[in-house]
A and B are shown apart, each in its own frame.
Chain A
Amino acid sequence: MRVKFWGVRGSIPTPGRLTEKYGGNTACVEIREKKNRVILDGGTGIRELGLTLVKEMPSETALLFSHTHWDHIQGLPFFQPFFTKGCTFRVFAPSILKTRVEAILTQQMEQNVFPVPFAALSSKILFESLPEEGLQYGDLHISFFELNHPGKAFGYRISNGEETVVYATDNEIHRAKHKKAFKRTIKAVRGADFFIADAQYSSEEYLRNRVGWGHSTYEEAMAAAREAGVKKLALFHHDPMSDDITLGKRERSLRKKYRDISLFFARDGMAVDVASH
């Protein structure tokens, strides 16, 4: 399985020189396994993904959303494949989220905020419920679990039978302050090869005034990954206030501290093969 990061920033896009290394696009990750393609979240990173996708026509893609906060849907009105005949999307979502995603996509393209209505899109977009036990999508098995985030968000576990990727962003876990969520996350991530985890803050930033905001720290993501026996960890959903220099320093120091796990800060435009070490 190949995982490609198209948007790694949390909350709001951060264009400009100070953030060009790690990237300024909001959440969007693509997973490919042979002919199967899954897109996780529709932040601003999805615009660029769209430009490559329209070159591979006709196409079918599964779309999964963690939740419908701005930074996870913002790129969709500029996602070219939505406007392209021959592109099919199957949006799989836990039933509570399915209704919300359907509504929000329409609202996001209402006349007052966007010139083209959702109903006029030329691609085929199908909304399907993702059952509790998960479902098989081509060569991939997709299941979900609940995250700890204001208004509720969901994480996804995607497996090709040999390798497993877990995507869990917008998730506040903490061994002391959010024990239950921490345990639930470990359970869902257990044994995964690759864990893409919300790690918006440093411990210091978090404890200063960000408890309850719905995001985690590098250290807690790391602790969860270690307890769950994960091989590779991508720290994701970077805080808009963290520039390249800050992230670079933090990445280097975390690596020194935690040598037993392969960890990195996700970057826009970076692709990683899950099986490689």
Chain B
Amino acid sequence: MCEEPTDIITLDSLEKSGADEATSLEVVRRCFVRIIKGEGEGTELKLGSETIIAGRSTSAGLFLGTSSASRKHFELVPERGGYVLRDLNSTNGTKVNRTRVAECRLSDGDIISVGKLELVFLEKTRLEIGSGQNKP
């Protein structure tokens, strides 16, 4: 699951913080969608534990500013550590890497297109310091 970020950990900062065996490092994935072509270019949305609806409706969690978009066009659903895109029976369809899909598990770098609007799904993985609670 994509979690809230904390500060970046480097080996240096670990030493300074006096981290010992009780500290655990965790791999945390943060996921985003960014509009890379069309209205709102450069807009980035961080995905969390809630389902996001994307569409032309102003109340959509992710606004798609194109006449090709339906009011509720697709949804991004957090599922088992990642995100699944589901088309919501949109009129013009949703493509992932240029293939029209009803559903697709997203992976880093996937290009989502709705008409001429393009978005990229990004996944950033990094090491973060854990609470050490997992240790016996």
Interfacial chain B residues near A116, Cβ < 8 Å:
none
A227 at the interface (CB under 8 A from B): no
Q: Is there a chain B Cβ closer than 8 Å to A4's Cβ?
A: yes
Chain A, residue nearest B105 (CB): A269
Determine whether B52 belongs to the interface, using a CB cutoff of 8 Å to chain A.
no
* A205 at the binding interface (Cβ < 8 Å): no
Complex Cα spacing A264 to B99, Å = 7
Partner of B103 from the list A255, A270, A276 (CB cut-off 8 Å) is A270
Which residues of B from 106 to 132 have beta carbons under 8 Å from A? 107-108, 110
The listed residue (B93, B98, B104, B108) touching A270 by CB distance below 8 A is: B104
Closest CB of chain A to B119's CB: distance in Å?
Answer: 17
Residues of B within 8 A of A20 (CB): 107
Whether B100 and A255, one on each chain, are in contact in the complex, defined by CB atoms closer than 8 angstroms, is: no
The answer, yes or no, to whether B88 is at the interface (CB within 8 Å) is: no
Contacts of A268 in B (CB 8 A): 105
- Cβ A271 vs Cβ B104 within 8 A: yes
A37 within 8 A of B: no
In the complex formed, the residue of B with least CB distance to A263 is: B99
Are B101 and A277 in contact, CB atoms less than 8 angstroms apart? Answer: no
Q: How large is the interface on A (under 10, 10 to 19, 20 to 34, 35 or more residues)?
A: 10 to 19
Q: Is the CB of A267 within 8 A of B105?
A: yes
CB distance from B78 to the nearest CB of A (A): 14
Closest to A269 in B: B105
A-contacting residues, B12-29, CB 8 Å: none
A21→B102 CA distance, assembly (Å)? 17
**B107–A272 touching, CB < 8 Å:** no
CB distance from A16 to the nearest CB of B (A): 13
Q: How far is the CB of B82 from chain A (nearest CB, A)?
A: 9
Q: Of B96, B98, B101, which contacts A255 at CB under 8 A?
A: B98
Nearest B residue to A277, CB-CB = B100
Q: Using a Cβ–Cβ cut-off of 8 Å, how many residues does chain B contribute to the interface with A?
A: 15
- Complex CA gap A262/B97 in Å reads 12
Is there an interface contact between B104 and A267, defined as CB atoms closer than 8 Å?
yes
Task: Please name all residues of chain B whose beta carbon is closer than 8 Å to the beta carbon of A255 when the two chains form the complex.
Answer: 98
CA of A270 to CA of B104, assembled, Å = 4
Residues of A within 8 A of B103 (CB): 4, 269-271
Interchain nearest-CB distance for B44 vs A (Å): 21
Most buried by B among A20, A269, A271, A277: A269
Interface status of B84 (Cβ within 8 A of chain A)? yes
Q: Does A269 lie within 8 Å of B93, measured CB to CB?
A: no
Q: Most A CB atoms within 10 A — which of B93, B98, B99, B108?
A: B99
CA distance A4 to B110 in the complex (A): 18
24 cross-chain CB contacts under 8 A? A4-B103, A21-B107, A21-B108, A21-B110, A262-B99, A264-B98, A264-B99, A268-B105, A269-B84, A269-B104, A269-B105, A270-B96, A270-B101, A270-B104, A270-B105, A271-B101, A271-B102, A271-B103, A271-B104, A272-B101, A273-B100, A276-B93, A276-B100, A276-B102
Q: A21-B108, A244-B107, A272-B100 are in contact. List 14 more A-B contacts (CB 8 A).
A: A4-B103, A20-B107, A21-B107, A251-B97, A262-B99, A264-B99, A268-B105, A269-B103, A269-B104, A270-B103, A271-B102, A271-B104, A272-B102, A277-B100
